[in-house]
Structure 1
Amino acid sequence: MRDVNLFNFKRALPRMSWNPKNLYNLWRRSLGAKVSTTDYTRTTKTLFQQRWAAKQLVRAYHGDYINEKTFKRWYLPANLPDVRPTASVRDDSLLLTKWANKTSAVEKEIKRREEEASKGLAPVGSLMFSEVERRIDVVIFRSCLAHSVYEARRMVVHGNVLLNGQKHQNANTRLAPGDMVTVDPKAINFLQPRAMETDPDEGADADTHPSKDVSSAIVKSADGSTSGHTPFHLPNYAAPFIFIPTYLEVSFPTCSTVYLRHPTARPGYSEVPTPYDADGEVVRLAWEWYAKVRPRMRSKRQLARMPENRQ
């Protein structure tokens, strides 16, 4: 991985990780000193600088290990609509209906428009990362079966993951609705005895997977007796990161998850997890940045190099 120093406090870029350092960086961006850097109401930065900074923030969390050129070509939606609120315009059809003395129809249309205005726009800007959320390594992390997306990627590459019952070692695969991903319990770090645990984010290329069979692990209880249950040692400060998106169905007894459908968004809610406001200024500015560099038509030669997309 290019960036080894993931949790640099100076940059404070939130990542897909349960690491306590990442929690501190997330706090700094949400409530600490770094909040002011994303407040663009009063800033001396140009619009270009604002969009660049917003793009850097969202990309640090959403697939920072994906090359920028690869992200724009294969993971960025081909169509990026405008997410900025539009000014209301005078509707001549409504005036004609009112002139025709169709009062009930006019009142009904006005009420419908008021309801739409109260709901606001759907945070579609966050959906530019929906293709990243389909990646098999991201799905494993979202299912709380790995400490970080980097550990989930190593699980796939090292052959510890099954896709629909078959070993799968391509971490770039994008899942299709109905796909089932199963992780070998021996590769899940927090299911191992505590003495064998290591920091999953210390060194991106290090193999931190214990090799001991957890099915035969013996756990001592408080009264000195033993049981054959699998040990479970949740990392410190992991609680803020433990959530499962609605488009996943996870079975922890079998260490598997089913990708139900693609993430969606509706007014006031987005299914794409992000450390920033899904309809906030950071996501909108990043959307505007990528709207300038949206992918062009892809040739057959380029399509042949596309990462596996199961549709």
Structure 2
Amino acid sequence: MARRFHGLKRPKVRQDWSRETLYNLSRLTTPPAHTKTFFQQKWMAKSLARGYHNPYVREGQWTRLFDRRLPAVVSMNHQYLAKYDGSEMARGRGMGVEKESISRRRGEDGETGVAAAGPFRDGDQVQRQYDGRVQKTPYMHMTFHPLERRLDTAIWRALFSSSVKQARQFVVHGWVRVNGKKMIYPSYQLNPGDLFSVEPERVMFATGARKKKRSSALSAQDDAEEDDRESSRSAQKTKEQELEERTDEEQGEGSDAGAATLESDEEREAMTTKPEDEADARKAMKNLVLRAKRILEDSKRKLSGKRQQELRAFAQSVRKTMSKHRPNDSAALAEEDGVEAFETALAEIMTKIPDDDLPTESTSTTQAQTTASAISNDPKLRDPDRVDNYNAQKDAALLAAALARARENPIDISKPYATPWHPRQFMSAFAFIPRYLEVNQRVCSAVYLRHPVARPGLAEVPTPFSAETMGLAFNWYLRRR
């Protein structure tokens, strides 16, 4: 194995999820053959194919696994099987009667590509009649089919690891079981019907985003996304400021009215923003108290007395915390108590409220559209109390949905992967499962159904190389030594 595993000068594809592999896949082409001898063509094709198909297997070990008999199957048409029993394939043999030519039978029968009816009917022609155009079987793509039986390759094919090397690590460290027993040998040959499973925590580590630091729950991917959001926000603010300046220059004295409208918009936005989006800790706490008050007033008839007491106690505790610190000392307020603790407390209270009492996201969206259209059409319905009630229901629904997502995917600094969990970068380009595996992602287990085979128009051994490259690699190992 080369010391530099990923190279960009020569596009060599590897069995892993990385940006280098994705870039090399986009540049992969069939090597030119007009300037090279047949030996050089075979050697180059062999090096490319072995660099992808489990290069951690030693060359001597692979040559012992190599089999010149490539497994393949032929799909039979059900109409043909229902009409014929197979005796027509051997009819007329050994009777001293020669078969008629296909061209003569075409003229007698009047059909193109169909054998004439009679005792000398060709079974291949009958099969071709029902199958239509016969597709070629890509036998050469099955060159490395013995490697697909290996346990480490099967783990990577089942999307339980981000590379074959990581799959080998899982096996050696004892995180893999085959048929309920621990297996520590990556070269174990799977048989049809074998069940292999990987520890779910290891699978989440392998397929989840990487952590930026051990003491942080975020990843570098999160930082990049946050930078993109900040750049888009700054660009949008710049456009808004330019638009405001133009408006002020055009309207002149009407700028005071515009400022008043802007203040009301900012207040309305402060009422609807989430606490974690607030820059000032004191404003965030005021927002929490306002949310709890709205939820309490809106659902007073539906909530039990105990839930109402908890909401009142929560608002009172937030007020006491705010009274301990000075109005200008928001940094100390955020460091000592923190907004996240109060937000978590409010979320815990909301979990105790039955789901029937809270509107769902779809219901809140429908209510928002209905309320907005009614208020805009009928001036009598422009009641601020009704709007506040609707906003309270919407806040409660959003809070309940966010809490449900937080329970399913919590933030945990002790995990070796970034939390909340999200897929690893570049994973979607490699996310496919072969036909010979049956995978259950919920329990991180898979069944090796059968050995991979080639069928007309399809080879079940996934490979990024062309049939010409795989054929040359097969010929390299086919030679006698």
Same fold (TM over 0.5): yes
In structure 1, the partner of 2:440 is 251
- Report how far residue 39 of structure 1 moved: 4.0
Please, which of 144, 148, 158 is the counterpart of residue 143 of structure 1?
158
**Secondary structure, counterpart of 2:196 in structure 1:** strand
* Residue 449 of structure 2 is aligned to residue 260 of structure 1: yes
- Report how far residue 160 of structure 1 moved: 0.8
In structure 1, the partner of 2:183 is 168
CA distance in 2, matches of 1:235, 1:80: 35
In structure 2, the partner of 1:284 is 471
CA distance in 2, matches of 1:23, 1:270: 22
CA distance in 1, matches of 2:180, 2:121: 57
In structure 2, the partner of 1:178 is 193
Q: CA deviation digits over 1:197-231, x for unaligned, max 9?
A: 999xxxxxxxxxxxxxxxxxxxx999563314475
In structure 1, the partner of 2:146 is 131
Q: Sort the Cα spacing of 1:114 and 1:185 in 2 relative to 1 into closer, same or farther, 3 A.
A: closer
The code of the aligned residue for 1:157 comes to V
CA distance in 2, matches of 1:114, 1:3: 49
The code of the aligned residue for 1:38 comes to P
- Report how far residue 233 of structure 1 moved: 2.0
Q: CA deviation digits over 1:122-162, x for unaligned, max 9?
A: 21222221110011011110001110111011000111111
In structure 2, the partner of 1:84 is none
In structure 1, the partner of 2:14 is 15
CA distance in 1, matches of 2:177, 2:201: 13
Q: CA deviation digits over 1:275-307, x for unaligned, max 9?
A: 113xx210111111111148xxxxxxxxxxxxx
Please, which of 223, 227, 238 is the counterpart of residue 407 of structure 2?
227
- Report how far residue 79 of structure 1 moved: 3.6
* Residue 117 of structure 2 is aligned to residue 104 of structure 1: yes
In structure 2, the partner of 1:64 is 55
**Secondary structure, counterpart of 1:257 in structure 2:** strand
Alignment of 1:207-218 (within 5 A): none
The code of the aligned residue for 1:227 comes to R
Q: Sort the Cα spacing of 1:192 and 1:60 in 2 relative to 1 into closer, same or farther, 3 A.
A: closer
- Report how far residue 10 of structure 1 moved: 1.6
* Structure 1 stretch displaced more, 226-235 or 59-68: 226-235
**Secondary structure, counterpart of 2:422 in structure 1:** coil
- Report how far residue 121 of structure 1 moved: 3.7
Q: Sort the Cα spacing of 1:107 and 1:151 in 2 relative to 1 into closer, same or farther, 3 A.
A: same
In structure 1, the partner of 2:275 is none
In structure 1, the partner of 2:369 is none
> Given that residues 186 and 192 in structure 1 are in contact (C-alpha distance below 8 angstroms), is that contact kept between their aligned partners in structure 2?
no
Q: Sort the Cα spacing of 1:110 and 1:179 in 2 relative to 1 into closer, same or farther, 3 A.
A: closer
In structure 2, the partner of 1:52 is 43
> Given that residues 172 and 184 in structure 2 are in contact (C-alpha distance below 8 angstroms), is that contact kept between their aligned partners in structure 1?
yes
Q: Sort the Cα spacing of 1:264 and 1:107 in 2 relative to 1 into closer, same or farther, 3 A.
A: same
Q: Sort the Cα spacing of 1:287 and 1:78 in 2 relative to 1 into closer, same or farther, 3 A.
A: closer
Gaps (5+ residues) in structure 2?
Answer: 72-92, 109-115, 221-343, 348-397, 411-419
The code of the aligned residue for 1:130 comes to H
> Given that residues 209 and 424 in structure 2 are in contact (C-alpha distance below 8 angstroms), is that contact kept between their aligned partners in structure 1?
no
- Report how far residue 245 of structure 1 moved: 0.4
In structure 2, the partner of 1:38 is 31
Q: CA deviation digits over 1:145-201, x for unaligned, max 9?
A: 1101110110001111111111110001110111111111222223578455999xx
In structure 1, the partner of 2:413 is none
Percent of residue pairs identical: 35
Q: Sort the Cα spacing of 1:172 and 1:7 in 2 relative to 1 into closer, same or farther, 3 A.
A: same
Q: Sort the Cα spacing of 1:120 and 1:47 in 2 relative to 1 into closer, same or farther, 3 A.
A: farther
In structure 1, the partner of 2:67 is 77
Higher helix share: 2
* Residue 154 of structure 2 is aligned to residue 158 of structure 1: no
Q: Sort the Cα spacing of 1:77 and 1:198 in 2 relative to 1 into closer, same or farther, 3 A.
A: farther
CA distance in 1, matches of 2:164, 2:434: 15
> Given that residues 119 and 268 in structure 1 are in contact (C-alpha distance below 8 angstroms), is that contact kept between their aligned partners in structure 2?
no
- Report how far residue 80 of structure 1 moved: 6.3
CA distance in 2, matches of 1:265, 1:232: 38
Q: Which of structures 1 and 2 has the bigger CA Rg?
A: 2
Number of residue pairs aligned between Structure 1 and Structure 2: 251
> Given that residues 137 and 171 in structure 1 are in contact (C-alpha distance below 8 angstroms), is that contact kept between their aligned partners in structure 2?
yes
> Given that residues 42 and 476 in structure 2 are in contact (C-alpha distance below 8 angstroms), is that contact kept between their aligned partners in structure 1?
yes
In structure 2, the partner of 1:203 is none
> Given that residues 209 and 425 in structure 2 are in contact (C-alpha distance below 8 angstroms), is that contact kept between their aligned partners in structure 1?
no
Q: Sort the Cα spacing of 1:289 and 1:120 in 2 relative to 1 into closer, same or farther, 3 A.
A: farther
CA distance in 2, matches of 1:72, 1:257: 28
- Report how far residue 109 of structure 1 moved: 5.3
Gaps (5+ residues) in structure 1?
Answer: 30-34, 82-92, 200-219, 295-311
> Given that residues 209 and 219 in structure 2 are in contact (C-alpha distance below 8 angstroms), is that contact kept between their aligned partners in structure 1?
no
In structure 2, the partner of 1:216 is none
CA distance in 1, matches of 2:480, 2:448: 30
